[in-house]
Amino acid sequence: MKRLDGKTIILAVTGSIAAYKAVEVARLFLKRGARVRPVMTASARKFLGPTTLSGITGEPVHADMWDSSIEGELHVTLARGADALVVVPATADRLAVFAQGRAEDLLGALALCVSCPVFVAPAMHPRMWAHAATQASVALLRSRGVAFLGPIHGQVASGDEGVGRMIDPEAVVEAVAEMLGSSQELAGRHVLVSAGPTVEDLDPVRFLTNRSSGKMGFAIAAQAARKGARVTLVAGPVNRATPANVERVNVRSALELQTELERILGPELRGADALIMAAAVADYRPASFSDTKIKKQGEGASLALVRNPDILAAIGARRTGPSPVLVGFALETGDEAAVTAYARGKVDAKKCDVIVANEASRALEGDSNTMYLVFASRDDAVGPISGSKDEVAAVIVSELAKLFERTPRP
């Protein structure tokens, strides 16, 4: 069982019949050693007495943004000391408030003010959860890194059945402890990850792309977030859930990917501490884009292509110091010697710190990987490292942490 000693958790309760479950969540957080600071919305108090929460946690229940007994701005003070904001239960209305960034009450202001991970455990009637308005809020919040804990399928208060039931208190506490209880060796770092394929449009209905699933980049983003980094994931078109506490930016083409990465890094490359280029960037794009569908003509056709910029190499060439740490990927065919030799060439050509080299037949689409790490700073390759993409991601992120130890903060 992961402990939470020394961690401060803001437990926010909103107005749902499941509010009583927040009491058990508070108790389980306390059992793991956390300090629990309760916040209740006005409607939560219709379902649960503040005395119950203050009695269990030994802390005052904060409900009023205008509480004159508190010095300074309550939402700022609470946000400053928080290691996690956990909303249990989260109503449909509250998700909409968060999605819109409204700050009309203490919890709304607090959600805008915190820099710690935010977890929500939704509870509502299945039709409310399934409604397009709620799902739009959920998608937006997920893309901003909010971690959703449930809801699950089951019976809800009205007796109806469906997805909308809050997950069990133990599962809430376990998920938060899993995140906060991991070593936070990347805390204070901003890690930028690219993932997935790029799609190069030819006309309104046709395009060139590749088989990259995005799994590796998403696994790295999730792992870096677990280790406390602020993570921005720039993803090509893949149907994949945004990992918890990761901010996602969607792109389509190589040129769009380059624009977004350059925007985030800024002209002096100070916008992130590391760039992990796990995206499978198309080497070529059609020389021209046709606004109308290209008609078939004759028996054969050929396609004129132009070279896409090498995004990583361009950033490597501009870098003047050790930051940002640059990690590239290489998908190669051949035996170990061939794969690592190609990777060595890429470390030099792209002026990056590490190339993660994969053997092509095993890396594409599947869930597991065998890889070698080829560093600019050492002659021998590290590997083979085999395992699921999550396991391999953990190795890459721990190597990144080691590289950071040698890199001054920008």
Q: Taking the CA of residue 160 as centre, how many other CA atoms within 13 Å lie in the half-sphere pointing to its CB?
A: 10
CB atoms within 10 A of CB 396: 22
Using an 8 Å Cβ cutoff, are 84 and 177 in contact? no
Using an 8 Å Cβ cutoff, are 117 and 245 in contact? yes
Instruction: For the CB of residue 198, give the shortest distance to ligand C5P in the complex, in Å.
Output: 8
List C-alpha distances in Å: 256 to 139, 251, 259. Answer: 22, 6, 5
Using DSSP's 3-state secondary structure scheme, residue 307 falls into strand
Instruction: For the CB of residue 329, give the shortest distance to ligand C5P in the complex, in Å.
Output: 4
Using DSSP's 3-state secondary structure scheme, residue 40 falls into strand
Of 125 and 252, the one with the shorter C-beta distance to ligand C5P is 252
Instruction: For the CB of residue 361, give the shortest distance to ligand C5P in the complex, in Å.
Output: 16
Using DSSP's 3-state secondary structure scheme, residue 373 falls into strand
DSSP-assigned letter for residue 19: G
Of 222 and 327, the one with the shorter C-beta distance to ligand C5P is 327
End-to-end CA distance of the chain: 37
Please identify which of the residues 210, 245, 308, 369 carries the catalytic annotation.
Answer: 210
The yes-or-no answer on residue 210 being catalytic is yes
Instruction: For the CB of residue 218, give the shortest distance to ligand C5P in the complex, in Å.
Output: 14
**Footprint of ligand C5P (CB under 6 A):** 254, 277, 279, 281, 283, 308-312, 328-330, 346
Rounded CA separation 127/130 (Å): 5
Rounded CA separation 409/39 (Å): 36
Instruction: For the CB of residue 236, give the shortest distance to ligand C5P in the complex, in Å.
Output: 10
Dmax over CA atoms of the chain, in Å, equals 82
Q: Indicate which residues carry an active-site annotation.
A: 210
